[in-house]
A and B are shown apart, each in its own frame.
Chain A
């Protein structure tokens, strides 16, 4: 009997099969992933999750007898009070007395769990941040190390043994260093002749020649080293600065009294998606959260998503704050700046002029992209709201027409969030991108 410990064997044998399975059901899995997100809470947005897809996509058919029809007989355990000849009504499952219950592959959905990575991959597939154009190289801190051939000097730990031996061998060949085998052969012959009794006539001469040859060989072997310091080769590494595109994302949200919980929820969902997307796709993305009532404040993520504040509405305050932060910390020359704003569109008429001018004069010139998301009441979700645009929408409309990097969308219901999000960040066609 042998005991073998297999626990340390590489696991994940099923990984390939799992990926093949996901590939096969990809379209359906993707749909399911997107559907499942509609009802997730913000916190759980990027957790691994269970999804279900229709069975028939991945059905494996076999030839088997139908569950219905025909005559059948079957034995069951646990009789209580049946007597022979009793009649029993058919159970609701129809004929077959539930006999195929064990096979249960009916048409119910096929459920399984996706890991967080798989989930996000499918979920954020084919989205990208629009136009990440200004690339800045920042050296130093983000150096990478890469192999750069061999050198004759270096740290002993970097000694390349194969390369050194190769060099030594070619040098020995070039200088014709006698081999150990040659020496051994001559030693052997000398021993043979010396041992011969009686010696042959020309043995003395032969012996003399051999001895001379031997001393030459030994001398040459001593002179030409097996490994010489000139043979040593070290692996060389060099550091390379890696180009890093850095971006900052501003999230602006109105948290004033006119924003209902529903609206805030919509906005938060949008930002949560955005946050998820950005932090996943870009390593160097900073996110700045600003919420405002009639005053604006830069807050941390937790406060932004989960705190409540009351007050009036002054959109310009948030924009000013945004400009302030940009001037302070994010030089537009070095950073790609993205802004997303969410509001119910409520604004003070008197403030609109300032908002538009701030937008036109200051913000849009330094922004790569500005997305305005207007959240509305759930009740209006299905009603086409003709002519009832909000103050902010009216103010922004001309801005949007004039600037390609400003987009605005309305959202009333949770289910619209994801489509709008996709619309904004859909990967553009190649032609469009290159223009």
Chain B
């Protein structure tokens, strides 16, 4: 690794650690920024690297959130009674009990999301191209509706999460650092993963699935594994976000298909899908622009959001990094040798002429 790259990584990590201490008022916003980066990175495992464009990855976010909530509540109170009381249920717990519940909740959310990914993967991985996108969109929408009708987990009324035992300042910093660590570890894990055989295999699936299968790649196993990785991190961050917000509800918080669910696609495309840094760049840019301009649009922000997606998809699909790769191929390790290009073109022309 070049020293400049190491300096960049160290700089980002230091900035991430320092941010809530320097600008404490924006702790929540910056935590959401890290979450957005995680969203874009996990979407890109499937959408960018493997060529399976899912519109329903938000399902795992919500699933993790609800699994964690149930695990956390179940250690003090019967879940049905707790949720039926809509926050009026008084529970006493010590600090140690709260953190233990949170810890097991997050772990259970990650594992539960993997289980969901494996089961659902068996159902939807035969679908290809647009059918996969529509099928996964259907899964996310169905989950929101079904959880909304499920009284045991509070139905449409939602669940108030157990209250953090501590001051609001400490609370926001605590959750900020969890999200930060999750995002950084997702990035590190994927950075390693894309250099392995696994990365090559999923790229082969993207380029031509039938050929990859013919070359002996067990495509179904790789697809399920890739979805499980995305689900694992999404489930955990969902668990943390549920606790960070303090109140969870199916349509707007847990399964927000038309906000977070579509943001993750838009962010990856904006940055450049199929690259490691693209989603990070896209998510940062998207979130910063969104937060800076949102309040000035007076209710038209959602219209603007849809317009951004349309413009992004139609006119600028290669994304920032894709555009940069076209512009300066040498910087990305693509060797452009004019002599060789000419020779190849000449050879191609000769072959054409021979036919």
Q: Do A and B come from one complex?
A: no
Instruction: Please list the residues of chain A having a beta carbon within 8 angstroms of any beta carbon in chain B.
Output: none
Instruction: Please list the residues of chain B having a beta carbon within 8 angstroms of any beta carbon in chain A.
Output: none
